[in-house]
Each structure stands twice: as structure tokens, then as C-alpha cells.
Structure 1
Amino acid sequence: MIEMVIEARRKDLGGFEVGRILPFHSRRMVGPFIFLDQMGPAEFAPGAEAISVRPHPHIGLSTLTYLFEGEIMHRDNTGATQAIRPGEVNWMTAGKGIVHSERTDPLKRSQGGPMHGMQAWIALPTEVEDIDPSFHHHGEQDQPAYDNAGLFARLVAGEAYGAKAAVKTSSPLFYVHWELAQGVRTAPPPGKGASGYSERALYVVKGEIEVGDRRFHAGQMIVLEPTAEPTVKAVTAASVMVLGGEPVGPRVIWWNFVSSSQAKIDAAKADWKAGRMTLPTEDSLEFIPLPDVPSTPEPAPASVKCEPTHPV
């Protein structure tokens, strides 16, 4: 029933802790999901630096930011400036190239407060890797939700349970947020054997759940066998992200670049180093330099210093 279990690798980034789940050395992707981070939970003191991600580039992917608590201000070189708050979605498609920053608004920084959320990268299918970049913000009304008998489920992106979210995706996928009361039982979208998705996983954000006869706690991703149809039970009150979809093929991931082509990764490196990718108009005074690490045909392990910039 369970293909593997991935433990989030926790990292303290100066008062703000993240957990990196994907990519993992023996499991790079789940469906088109090639990167998954849990941001926090953290509580920032008034005046603390909080989130301050300087402008940096992406190619070949869509980013999906989703918050449980807090607020982040997004700016990119398409002209988009958008705050994201709990229950909302920021969906940014890099395509042939985009530059963006993520920061805590100065007023929010002065007040302090919580920060907790998820950031995912979705690899684009080869035929649309080079589309023009774009950004879309979606409120809670764009995400179908179910709330009954201790089960809250929100379809953040894609299609599942007969519903479809407003986020415009480029390949078959689903991304669901569950809030489970103790003792509640539910199930993920069907797998390959039931004409469902080829690849699926559950990530426990908080609490404890049972999948089959095994228990899992916060910080663990459970990758399901393609034909498994498990029942999930909340041992305690729990928050879970359920995700998956259809594979888009092998991908190279280097720093913040994702592509089916090593040549495109190398071209993006050269463009960023040479200053050929413009900075966001409202955040153009600084940027993250290109890491001094050679790219390789295989995706680099998350432990090396060319790991993705996000979330801080």
C-alpha cells in the first residue's frame, strides 16, 4: 500500500525553520510536483526580518504558494504585486523565464506574528516549458471546499472528488488541504487501478494519522503505491496536504531552474549571470546571485548549496 515514507529535512534559517520534502534523493517527484517545502510554523517578534526572499529567477515550472497563517507579498517582473493570505493561492508560471521576490510587508514586520504555509513547484510539460510567464492570484471562492462531520477539504489546485479548482494547470494533478478532527476517516483521490492518478502522496503538516495499519506524524510524506486505495484515519486532530498527478517525464533541477533540457538550464544560468533577466519594477535594488556550483545532467541533492532559494 505504501511505496515509501519521506521525512522532511528541517533547517533553521535564522529564526525561521523550513522542512524540505521534495526533491528527495530516491524520489525526485510525485506526479508533476518536483519541489515541496513546509514553511514554519514560526512566530516572528515585532520588527524581526521575517520573510525576505530577494528577486531570483525561475524557468520551466509553476510555483504554488498556500498559507495556513501569516502573509507574504509577491512581486515579479510581469508587473504583478500581490499579497497572499491564509486559504488563498498564488500561482506563478515561469515558462521561459520569470523573476520574483517574496517578502513580509513592512507594516506586518513591525507588528510581528505567525507564518506557516506550503510552497510547491510543479514541473511544466515539455510542450509548454517555454510559454510566456504569468501570475494569477485565487481567493478561497476559487477553491471548491467540503466541510462536514469533522472533515474539511479544500481543493487547492487541479481536479479531485468530482470538483475542479480555478487554477489553470498544464497537466493532470490534484492538490488538496484536509483538516481532520480526531477519529475522522477519509480517503485520497483514487489511484491508477481505479482509473485515477498514477502517483499520489500524503504529507502530514501537523497531528498524527493512520494509513492502513501504520501511524505517521507531522513532517512525514507517505508515497502511495499506484493501485493502493487506503483509508486514512486521524489519530489526533490533523492537517494533511494530499497531492499527486501524472508524471511529465524526467526533469533537471538546478537552483531555481527546472527543465527537460540541460541546455536550457545552462542558458538560464548565463542569462541570469549576465543580467539579461529583468528585476521586478517595485523590487529592483537587490537580487540573489547565481550560485557558484556547476550544473550536472542529474538533479542535485537538496543538501548541496545549489538547492532552491525558497522559501527564504
Structure 2
Amino acid sequence: MSSRTVAATYPAYRDDIADLVTRRPVPGPGLEQVDPFLFLNHHGPQVYAPNNHGLPFGPHPHRGFETVTFILTGNLAHYDTGGHESVIEAGGVQWMTAGSGLIHAEVSPPSFKQRGGPLEILQLWVNLPSRLKMTAPRYSGVQADGIPAIPLAEGKALLNLIAGEFQGSAGPIHSLTGVFMSTVTLQAGAQVSLPAPRGRSVFLYVVSGQVSVGGTAVKPWHLVTVNDDGDTLAIGASSDAVLLFGHADPIDEPVVAHGPFVMNTRGEIEQAIRDYQAGKFNGDGKLLEVGA
């Protein structure tokens, strides 16, 4: 088995949302997407004071893709018009298939707004192929204790398996498109080899710490793209580090995005806007005052 080489690295650029520290490596200058991975927001790390306003993501619509939210520290309350509600704590993940369309809110629970505390969250958008863009919406919220933590490098690293299979374990999320998704924590000095099957698009973002990928040094807050010249990734940590790591089959279809909608044509975007304005995303309507 051979290790892939690095094609390029892309720094996340700062784009704060209200008082929420936000960095975004994709889309950005020179990188529109890592098909099918469309978008990544890295919120925090930061510490909220007591009696804060919490996260600013009140009710808003989506259609045509999936959102995957990783709660690294703090917690997150989710509500949507499909009737799903949860509060996910640190180490947990929520995976929402917007599909044909729903409205959701991602806000801080009342206890966090009252007491404050540290917060760090990642949100990744994963595209859906045209055949699945109008699939029925669904949602899975998984706490940390429901995510297999697989030791690597003689215990110096852990792969937290969210979707896909690895070393005889399966992640709790069943991806409609066969996405492999994980977070990886490494101690300084750890050396790991991660699966990166040929023909798959690899998504690798350095959340914190300094690492090398295939011998190329990568700083924190950088996204790495790799060449399709091997079937593994050789990663070494020069400091304690956290990575977001996944891979998926590229969709290779036109992408037309407008705000919270991602479709294949401009006409489909216009239809999504009309459907939203007509109340077709509202479900039971119970969400509409959440986060106001």
C-alpha cells in the first residue's frame, strides 16, 4: 500500500458571525469544494461569558445536501421541522439530511447561555447527488459514548468513527452515499496510517496542532488536498493535534448554490425558494419561534 502525497494546503480565513469566532477553509480562494464536501465552518475555540446570547443560528432552511456538526467543546441544541430535537454534548455529532427541505435551528441550550463556558464546533456540508436531493429529510444525533474510539499508534492516537467502517468497527451514522467520516486525536510524536482509497475524495482539516501529511508540514487551521496517487495517508504529529478526516466518492455533477440551498440547476434553486416561501418546509410549524 502506498501513501498519497499532498497536492496543496489552504488556510482557513476569518469570517466571524456576530460574536462567534469563525474560520472557513472551504469554499475559499482557489478552492470551491472537495467534491462532495462543499463547506466547512470552524467556530471557536472561545469562551463565552455567563448570561450570553449563545449561538446565532436560529431557524433557517436547507435543501439538497447534508450538514454534519461536530461538537468539540460545549454543547448544541438542535430543532427542526421534521420533529427532531436534541442537545448534543462535547464529543458528539449531529448528522442532518436536509434532502427535499426542512427548517432547523442550532442554538445554545439555556444552561449554556446562563453559565457560559468554552465552545468549539465544526460544521461540514456534504453534497447529495441529483438522485437524492429530494430524498426525505432525516436526522441523527449521537453523543460521544455512541461513537467508537479506535486506538492507533500504540494508544498515542484515537480515531473516532462517525460513519463508515474501520478495523472491524462501524460508525453509528449510515451515510446515504457511503461517506467515511471521523475525527482523529494525536499525541505529539504519534505516527498513523489512515485509509484513503484510490478514486475517493479525501477531506482533511487540521483543527489544532502541527502535523505532517506524507512528509509535508501542515499548520493548524489548514485544509489539505491530496493527490490520487496512493491508498493511505501517512500522518505524523509534531504536537498534540486534532484532525477532521473523511473520504467519499466524488459526485461529479454541476453545483449551483444559493445561500442555504444546493442544487444542480438555477431553476431548481428558484423552485426551492418558491417552496420555502410557500411554507412547504414548515412541517408541523413548531420550530418557527425557536431561537428568536
Q: TM-score, normalised by structure 2?
A: 0.90
1:123-134 equivalences under 5 Å are 123-134=127-138
Name the CA distance, whole Å, in 1 between partners of 2:186 and 2:163. 19
Match of 1:175 in 2: 181
Aligned to 2:201: 199
Question: Is the CA contact 2:54–2:112 (under 8 Å) kept in the aligned structure 1?
Answer: no
Is the contact made by 1:23 and 1:34 (CA closer than 8 Å) also made in structure 2? yes
Counterpart in the other structure of 1:244: 247
Aligned positions, number:
284
Distance in structure 2 (CA, Å) of the matches to 1:81 and 1:21: 29
Preserved CA contact (<8 Å) 1:2 1:225: yes
- Please give the residue correspondences for 1:19-58 in structure 2 after superposition, counting only pairs within 5 Å: 19-58=23-62
| Alpha-carbon RMSD | 2.1
One-letter code aligned to 2:70: Y
Q: How does 1:138-287 map to 2 (within 5 A)?
A: 138-147=142-151, 148-192=154-198, 197-228=199-230, 229-250=232-253, 251-278=255-282, 281-285=285-289
Counterpart CA distance in 2 for 1:191 and 1:15 is 40
Aligned residue for 2:87?
Answer: 83
More divergent stretch after superposition (24-33 vs 253-262): 24-33
For 2:102, the equivalent position in structure 1 comes to: 98
Secondary structure, aligned partner of 2:135: coil
Cα offset, 1:191, TM superposition: 3.1
1:3-46 CA-partner distances (Å, limit 9, x unpaired): 22111111223332111122235333324211111111111000
Cα distance in 2 between the residues matched to 1:262 and 1:158: 33
CA contact (8 A) 2:16 2:23 kept: no
Cα shift at 1:66? 1.1
Specify the code of the residue in structure 2 equivalent to 1:54.
Answer: G
* Aligned partners of 2:89 and 2:144 also within 8 Å: no
Q: The residue matched to 1:30 in structure 2 has which SS? A: coil
Contact preservation (8 Å) 1:56, 1:287: no
Q: 1:16 and 2:16 equivalent? A: no
| Identity rate, percent | 26
TM-score of the two chains, using structure 1 as the length reference: 0.84
Counterpart of 1:77 in structure 2: which amino acid?
A: T
In structure 2, the CA distance between the partners of 1:15 and 1:32, relative to structure 1 (3 Å rule), is: same
Matched residue type, 2:224: I
Q: Deviations over 1:260-312 (max 9, x none)?
A: 23222111112223444317744323799xxxxxxxxxxxxxxxxxxxxxxxx
Residues 161 and 29 (structure 1 numbering): CA distance in 2 closer, same or farther, change over 3 Å?
farther
Unpaired runs of 5+ in structure 1? 289-312
The offset of 1:162, in angstroms, is: 4.7
